[in-house]
Structure 1
Amino acid sequence: MSAELTALDCKPWGKATIREVIDAPLHGGERGMLRLTVAGLLVLILGQKLAFPPTIELSFYTSFALAIVLLLWRKGAIDPARMLGYVASMAVCILVTVTSPLHPAFSITAIMYLVIIHMPFMLVVPVRRTFYLKLLRIFMMIGMVVATLVYVQWAQQLVGMRMINLEDYIPKPFLYVGYNYIQKLDYFSQYYKPNAFLMLETSHTSQTLAIATLIELCLFRRMLIVAYMLIAQLVTFGGTGMLLIVVTIPFVLRYLSLRLVLTGMIIFPIALIVAAQVGVLDNALGRSAEFDKPGTSGNGRFVNHFVIAAKSASLDADHALFGIGAGQVSPFVNDSTTVFLPLSKLTVEYGLPAALLFFAWMTYCFFTAGVPMVVTWPLLILFNLIGGTLLIPINTYYCLFLTAMFVPNRATAFTQARLFRRDRLPRIASHVIAGEASETR
């Protein structure tokens, strides 16, 4: 990374225009690094249905390979604090498994996958803010493709065509298994929820569009594109995407002008009426009513896994401290709708101390990269409360690409100097100070 910081690098989040981001030059190896990262994002988002073997997504290999390349290319380094947290978390998970007084059966494969899949989170790649904004812009372009595919799928259905099924064209040994790729709007409906052809299921489509909508609204502010993405997100009928937007509203407000907030207050009632007419509101209310109904998707995704974790930890001290064994199924699981999230899964399998230590480490990785909260917060919620992502690369590496690996904050210059070239520190610090001084004028 060049030590020369530009005006764009010193601008606060949300103050740069999309034209400034497009026109800003990249320096040296930044171009090659961006191309590699974009290739990883494309596989992660648009290739998430691909796997080999069927239980391991293609994006696991490509994302892990990207981290190794960046490390060998000396674009990044292992952060000591992150490494300490990683080693401690993984060591505790392994130790409680092999020393448990319960002597549980355990899956070596599950332990190895836990250790390997989270290894890239130790890597820190200092970048200029320009690089990160360009990465987000390309993510937005991918989001536009996803939104367009959603509209195409609805157009197909509304004219009476059968929605294209990706599973008809890819050999089964290369398809990721375990997801409801095709879902009806409801049991009696003739229509199916759009999944943008390439996504694992509707919820993943909805989540991608929600994150893209938040980024566009707060950082690039092109309102036509915001509307294009938001409408596509709504007509996926995926509740998790809407939930991500709702829980991020407190962080969104600081990016919006008073005029835009007032406009939103006027438009919101109209949007509710439209949502009610097309069935989006009924769908959302129906899903929320499932929370207290065992055997439903809402209960299994948001409630039951925590209930199971609490029951398992309350059996006795050994179950609370050591868990039932890596990769083992809790005897309290009594339906197929339960989706275990990282904290509940770790509590059941490895015990509460290991779960809390892992949660603390991952949270540290999220919040020390210095990316905007409108990116960090929804991905933190997605990882911990929605996605069921502990051993699933798609949402885990969303977090790696957008909130953990690249460090674009103003401390980047200091980090770069500390990790690579200490002799540059005075020069780089002067650039940062000059940039801050220009903002205050």
Structure 2
Amino acid sequence: MLQASKLHSRVSGASEAPGFDKRVLALVGAILCSCLFLQRFGFPAGAKNASIVGPIGIGLAGWGLLSGVFAFDSRRLVIFLALTFCAVLGAAWHAVSPGPFSTPLNVQSISQFLLLTAFATLTFSEPVDELRFFRLLNFLFMLAAAAGTLQFIAQFAGIRIFAFTGLLPESILFESGYNLQILAGVGDLLKSNGFFLVEPSVFSQLMALALIVEILAFKRLPYLAIFVTGLLLSMSGTGWIVLATFVVAAVFSMGARGVVIAAATVATLAVALAAGLLLAPDLALAIQDRMDEFSRPGTSGHMRFVTPFWVLSDIIRAEPSAALLGIGAGASEQQNLVYSYDVNTPVKIILEYGGPALIAYILLFVVGQRSAIQSALVAPCLALILFTGGYQQFPPILFLVMMLTSVARLRRA
């Protein structure tokens, strides 16, 4: 590891571990709190607001480096430099030889992408107790789950707070463009968005991660119950995709224990889902409607999981060099095509920076020292960051996932 300063280099020892753990977990707790509870807050940045979590996370990371709590991971630092090279090379190519899909150089977009991604080059300067780390994480997830559950229940008393717009000044909010209020398909109820989170889908994904951690590390029934409740009340399919990825990965990577964990997870979720359908029969129609979205143009599921690959295929067919060099930062979302489309993280990175850049980007989440629980989280975290939303420049989710897969350096209790 590349230490931030020789003054802060340390030799791991049992006597100083508890004190060092507290320092790390205090900093990690501050970063995670901003990721979970400040998602909807922003600050003016040109024509629209930017997420306040970005500068908070970067500032705390810088403090961690200066104080010796964080260090650079040499392998991921090299990978990040390779990613930067790919981005700069593509920008230079399009400046000299613009293609039919190229747009003017967007310095803000490429700078933001690289600055936020640089968070993955960090690691803890010394390992931290694994169970203490995940206990902190799931305590914060539990607070989000409780807030989302209370938000949903409050609807029955006529209280609906699903957006802060209108309650707080728009100059401090980061809600524009997000689907905060979505009908659940059961009467006039709205899907829970976790109160602090930007969408029900984000709530769903985080509840899935919380369930995975709880199943692997603690198995506390009250926590399992609140996380399952949050997952069901979000009424979003992306969390189930994250869970399905975990189940499949557990079967193939954890041996007999993985098969048992996967079977127990599926059984628990099946019972919870059956109970939900029993209590709210209309929920079955809502679930069926969501499943049908994949084949219905214009729906959320079709836009998120189908159209990205349409636009990728169309652009690379017309401009083959885009597969290597992309079409320029910010250009993936500015194409005037005959159909409406959305882009997910891998498609956006390929289209803007090229295939080699995507490989480097994925390696930032894969390369690193991990505990057993962390290793089990890699597959579902990759599914979340790559396929459930455009999170490559959304710091609340990006920093959280990088913390779990790359930055956290943990030791067994």
TM range (shorter): 0.7 to 0.9
Q: Is the 8 A contact 1:244 1:381 kept in 2?
A: yes
**Paired amino acid for 2:81:** V
Partner of 1:242: 240
Partner of 1:41: 32
Q: Is the 8 A contact 1:166 1:198 kept in 2?
A: no
- Matched residue of 1:115: which SS? helix
**Paired amino acid for 2:400:** Y
**Paired amino acid for 1:93:** A
- Note the aligned Cα RMSD (angstroms): 2.8
Query: Partners of 1:258 and 1:89 in 2: how far apart?
Result: 37
Partner of 1:209: 207
Aligned length: 388
- Give the CA deviation at 1:163: 3.6
Written as runs of structure 1 = structure 2, the 5 A alignment for 1:157-306 is 157-163=155-161, 165-176=163-174, 177-186=176-185, 189-252=187-250, 270-277=271-278, 278=280, 279-306=282-309
Q: Is 1:52 aligned with 2:50?
A: no
- Give the CA deviation at 1:286: 2.1
1:229–1:51: structure 2 CA closer, same or farther, 3 Å change rule? same
Query: Partners of 2:79 and 2:66 in 1: how far apart?
Result: 22
Q: Is 1:99 aligned with 2:93?
A: yes
Partner of 1:428: none
- Give the CA deviation at 1:213: 1.1
What is the CA deviation profile of residues 93-131 of structure 1, one whole-angstrom value per residue up to 9, with x for unaligned ones?
A: 11112223226322111111112111121122144351x
Partner of 1:114: 113
Query: Partners of 2:248 and 2:92 in 1: how far apart?
Result: 44
- Give the CA deviation at 1:264: 6.7
Partner of 2:20: 29
Q: Is 1:324 aligned with 2:336?
A: no
| TM-score (normalizing by structure 2) | 0.84
Written as runs of structure 1 = structure 2, the 5 A alignment for 1:370-385 is 370=371, 372-385=374-387
Partner of 2:350: 347
- Give the CA deviation at 1:312: 0.9
Query: Partners of 1:181 and 1:263 in 2: how far apart?
Result: 32
- Matched residue of 2:165: which SS? helix
- Matched residue of 2:321: which SS? helix
Deviates more, 1:255-264 or 1:82-91: 255-264
1:333–1:358: structure 2 CA closer, same or farther, 3 Å change rule? farther
1:376–1:357: structure 2 CA closer, same or farther, 3 Å change rule? closer
Query: Partners of 1:400 and 1:261 in 2: how far apart?
Result: 24
- Give the CA deviation at 1:35: 1.1
Q: Is the 8 A contact 1:313 1:351 kept in 2?
A: no
Unaligned runs of 5+ in 2: 1-9
1:334–1:117: structure 2 CA closer, same or farther, 3 Å change rule? farther
Partner of 2:132: 134
Q: Is 1:313 aligned with 2:316?
A: yes
Query: Partners of 1:174 and 1:85 in 2: how far apart?
Result: 35
Q: Is 1:392 aligned with 2:390?
A: no
- Which of these residues, 77, 88, 93, is aligned with residue 82 of structure 2? 88
Query: Partners of 1:97 and 1:115 in 2: how far apart?
Result: 13
Query: Partners of 1:66 and 1:88 in 2: how far apart?
Result: 25
- Give the CA deviation at 1:378: 1.5
- Give the CA deviation at 1:395: 1.6
Q: Is the 8 A contact 2:241 2:383 kept in 1?
A: no
Unaligned runs of 5+ in 1: 7-24, 411-434, 436-441
1:227–1:404: structure 2 CA closer, same or farther, 3 Å change rule? same
1:173–1:247: structure 2 CA closer, same or farther, 3 Å change rule? same
Q: Is the 8 A contact 2:109 2:329 kept in 1?
A: yes
Q: Is the 8 A contact 1:234 1:280 kept in 2?
A: no
